């Protein structure tokens, strides 16, 4: 079969891929743009899947980034429900599951990540993972008043689902193998607050105990723990992290290093193939080129936008500081930078239980900020801290603790 | 119809900052610009109904605290993904140290 000339081809129609497609048009590109997605829906936002899609009205719909009509109006060819099976670098084409072949001028891999599977868990309709809108709809049905749900994993997905399940009236036990929740990337002072919130909202949190077996029949899921306990529930959700979707890249011989390995311009080891979002690992300039992979909404969006500019020849480096938030009941936590880059911490209290921790490197440089408080009460301070981190600022340690010391004044300096 | 409502004292808002003002069942964001002028918009981001008053004001831009959608608070114009729907703006006047909105 001969390949269809598809112009700029984007594989993956999540936040990153969709933003890239739109940005190609915003950047004035007039040629063909083809966006290939594995799901039947128009591109949609994933953050609500663990939150509003669970707790909202009876007929949730995905929060759409661009509708089929909007994409058509922009002359973006959107191939929904079309998994890609291979990249043929020599022919400069991608092959779809239905046998079609699309030749590309440049290719962007925005394939995202998929939930890490718990190897000892059997396949069962009562054992679920969360990645897609359809996953979320199925999960909603499990989280009804009086039903008992076990959640495996005390990361952000597990915790947000626990909060949503409680809101829907389900009984929740959350099992985390580590000795505290959110161990990766969140300071202990913040996780303590999150832990108390969940306990106060009736979530039973089981910490530091390994799971030895998971059994499911058509009514119950039984999880046996290393201390001899067994936890029974009507259903189980597993949220133990995500793994980058690198299968296509690896099979095509592209360098893979905890994600499709890209340079600061998001180019893979084949300069005509870029990768962006959850599926790629990239050097973070602000930490001396430390290679990281992020699973965060804004990173997906910003890298999608940058990839589009670079597909058009801009040659720009990715220079953002990692930033994300998570809603937990009436509180939100916001984190900028990578807290493990810090060696000392300065705490600033903002009132109403809200506080921000500033993480400083040994030379006094601000490298991260983590905050938690009611609503979005820490958002502004953490956002300002993010800008200061990008500028490699070295704020006065004693004054940082004072809430009337305006971070914005440091930006002007 | 278009009545003037007292929102706050002029000095309750720092320069280049924003506060939230609730009136009836509506919520607004009231801004003081770096050049000491006052403005008002709807209080909730058009993208996901987040209170903009928790966001960051930089020059004439308000940035949503959750998704970094940006708006020019003087005109209401959306200025960056994911925000694509403009904010409504409201006339503001300052008299005797008080800020009034015409919310009609």
Using CA atoms, how far residue A413 sits from A62, A365, A368, A394, B33, in Å, is 43, 15, 19, 11, 19
Q: Give the whole-angstrom CA distance, residue A407 versus residue A19.
A: 31
Give A146-157 pLDDT, tens digit per residue. 999 999 999 999
Residues in chain B, overall count: 104
pLDDT given for residue B63 in this prediction: 95
Q: Which of B56, B69, B78, B84 to mutate to test the interface with A (most CBs of A within 10 A)?
A: B56
The tally of CA atoms less than 13 A away on the side-chain side of residue A88 is 14
Peptide bond preceding B82 in cis form (omega within 30 of 0): yes
Residue among B48, B50, B54 whose CB faces A380 most closely: B54
The CA distance from A384 to the nearest CA of chain B, in Å, is 8
Nearest to A124 by CA among A159, A145, A150: A150
Cβ B81 vs Cβ A301: under 8 Å? yes
Domains A117-238 and A330-412 share a fold: no
* Statement: residue A359 has pLDDT above 70: yes
Cα angle for residues A201, A203, A208 (degrees, 5° grid): 135
Average pLDDT over residues A350-368: 97
Mean pLDDT of chain B: 93
Phi, psi (rounded to 5 degrees) for B16: 55, 55
Q: Please give the pLDDT value at position A292.
A: 97
Q: Which residues of A touch B50 (CB under 8 A)?
A: 376
Query: Residue B52 — very low, low, confident or very high, per pLDDT cuts 50/70/90?
Result: very high
Which pLDDT score, from 0 to 100, does residue B1 have?
55
pLDDT given at position A413: 66
**Rounded distance, CA A173 to CA A79, Å?**
40
Shortest distance between the Cα of A380 and any Cα of chain B, in A, equals 6
Which residue, chain included where needed, has tokens 């700029």?
A8
> Considering chain A, what is the average pLDDT of its residues?
95
For residue B54, list chain A residues with Cβ-Cβ distance below 8 A. 375-377, 379-380
What are the residues whose beta carbons fall under 8 Å from the beta carbon of A139, sequence distance 6 or more? A54, A128, A130, A161, A237
Structure ipTM:
0.89
Q: Is A292 exposed, middle or buried (0-12, 13-18, 19+ CB in 10 A)?
A: middle
- Cβ–Cβ < 8 Å for A330, A354: no
Sequence-ordered list of residues with C-beta below 8 angstroms from that of A273, at least 6 positions apart, any chain? A87, A89, A106, A107, A108, A109, A249, A252, A254, A267
| Pairwise CA distance, residues A355 & A36, whole Å | 43
pLDDT given at position B84: 82
pLDDT at residue A305, as a whole number: 97
pLDDT band at A142 (very low <50, low <70, confident <90, very high): confident
Q: What share of chain A is helix, strand, coil (3-state, %, to 5)?
A: 25, 30, 40
pLDDT for res A251: 98
Query: B4-102: what CATH class?
Result: mainly beta
Four-residue CA torsion sign, A123, A218, A155, B55? positive
Look at B63 and A383 and tell me if their CB atoms are within 8 Å.
Answer: yes
The whole-angstrom separation of Cα A314 and Cα A323 is 24
> What band does B82 get if pLDDT is binned at 50, 70 and 90?
confident
Q: Which helix (H) or strand (E) holds A26?
A: helix A15-26
Q: Which of residues 61-80 of B touch A (CB under 8 A)?
A: 63, 65-68
% pLDDT > 70, chain A = 100
> What was the pLDDT predicted at A289?
95
Average pLDDT for residues A349-372, to the nearest whole number? 97
Whole-number Å distance between alpha carbons of A230 and A223: 5
Angle of CA points A139, A142, A144, to nearest 5°: 120
Structure token pair of residue B57: 């004001």
- What's the token pair of residue A147? 């039903």
Residue A56: pLDDT band (50, 70, 90) is: confident
Domain borders along chain A are 4-114+242-311, 117-238, 330-412
The answer to whether the Cβ–Cβ distance between B55 and A379 falls below 8 Å is yes
Q: What is the mean pLDDT of residues A128-139?
A: 94
Residue A59 has pLDDT above 80, yes or no: no
Residue B47: per-residue pLDDT: 85
CA–CA min distance A177, chain B (Å):
30
List CB contacts (< 8 A) between B48 and chain A. Answer: 63
Q: Is the pLDDT of residue B37 over 80?
A: yes
Residue with tokens 């340690």: A397
Report d(CA A87, CA A92) in Å as an integer. Answer: 8
Q: Tell which residue, A339, A345, A348, A335, has the closest CA to residue A405.
A: A348
**A65/B contact by beta carbon, under 8 A:** yes
Confidence category of residue B17, pLDDT binned at 50, 70, 90: very high
What fold does the segment set A117-238 form as a domain? FAD/NAD(P)-binding domain (3.50.50)
CATH 3.50.50.60 fits A4-114+242-311, yes or no: yes
Across the interface, of A297, A305, A376, the residue whose CB is closest to B65 is A376
* Averaged pLDDT for residues B52-56: 95
What is the architecture, at CATH level 2, of domain A330-412? 2-Layer Sandwich (3.30)
């Amino acid at each position: 079969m001969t390949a269809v000339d598809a112009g700029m081809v984007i594989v993956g129609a999540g936040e990153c891929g969709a933003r890239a497609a739109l940005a190609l048009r915003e950047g004035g590109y007039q040629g063909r743009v083809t966006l290939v997605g594995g799901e039947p829906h128009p591109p949609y936002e994933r953050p609500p899947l663990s939150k509003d899609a669970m707790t909202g009205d009876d007929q949730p719909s995905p929060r759409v980034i661009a509708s089929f009509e909007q994409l058509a109006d922009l002359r973006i060819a959107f191939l929904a429900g079309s998994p890609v099976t291979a990249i043929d670098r020599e022919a400069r084409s991608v092959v779809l599951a239905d046998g079609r072949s699309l030749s590309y001028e440049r290719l962007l891999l925005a394939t995202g990540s998929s939930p890490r599977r718990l190897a000892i868990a059997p396949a069962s309709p009562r054992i679920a993972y969360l990645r897609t809108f359809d996953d979320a709809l199925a999960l909603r049905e499990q989280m009804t008043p009086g039903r008992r749900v076990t959640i495996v994993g005390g990361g952000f997905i597990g915790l947000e689902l626990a909060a949503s399940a409680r809101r829907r009236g389900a009984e929740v036990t959350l099992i985390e193998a580590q000795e505290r929740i959110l161990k990766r990337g969140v300071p202990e002072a913040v996780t303590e607050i999150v832990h108390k919130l969940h306990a106060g909202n009736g979530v039973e949190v089981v910490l530091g105990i390994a799971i030895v077996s998971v059994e499911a029949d058509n009514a119950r899921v039984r999880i046996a723990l290393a201390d001899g306990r067994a936890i029974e529930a009507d259903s189980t959700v597993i949220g133990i992290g995500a793994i980058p979707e690198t299968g296509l890249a690896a099979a095509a011989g592209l360098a893979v290093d905890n994600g499709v390995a890209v340079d600061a311009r998001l180019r893979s080891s084949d300069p005509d193939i870029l990768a962006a979002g959850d599926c790629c690992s990239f050097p973070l300039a602000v930490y001396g080129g430390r290679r990281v992979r992020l699973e965060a909404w804004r990173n997906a969006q910003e890298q999608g936008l940058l990839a589009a500019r670079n597909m058009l020849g801009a040659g720009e480096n990715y220079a953002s500081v990692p930033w994300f938030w998570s809603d937990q009941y009436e509180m939100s936590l916001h984190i900028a930078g990578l807290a493990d880059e810090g060696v000392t911490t300065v705490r600033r209290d903002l009132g109403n239980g809200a506080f921000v921790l500033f993480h400083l490197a040994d030379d006094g440089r601000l490298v991260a900020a983590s905050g938690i408080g009611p609503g979005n009460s820490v958002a502004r301070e953490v956002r300002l801290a993010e800008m200061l981190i990008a500028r490699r600022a070295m704020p006065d340690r004693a004054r940082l603790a004072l809430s009337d010391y305006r971070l914005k004044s440091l930006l002007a300096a | 119809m278009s009545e003037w409502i007292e929102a706050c004292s002029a000095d309750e808002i720092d320069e280049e900052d924003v506060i939230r003002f609730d009136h009836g069942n509506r919520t607004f964001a009231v801004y003081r610009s770096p050049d000491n002028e006052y403005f008002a918009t709807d209080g909730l981001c058009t993208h996901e109904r987040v209170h903009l008053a928790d966001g960051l004001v930089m020059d004439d831009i308000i940035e949503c605290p959750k998704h970094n959608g940006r708006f020019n608070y003087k005109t209401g114009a959306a200025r960056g993904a994911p925000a694509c729907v403009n904010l409504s703006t409201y006339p503001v006047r300052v008299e005797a140290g008080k800020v009034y909105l015409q919310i009609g």
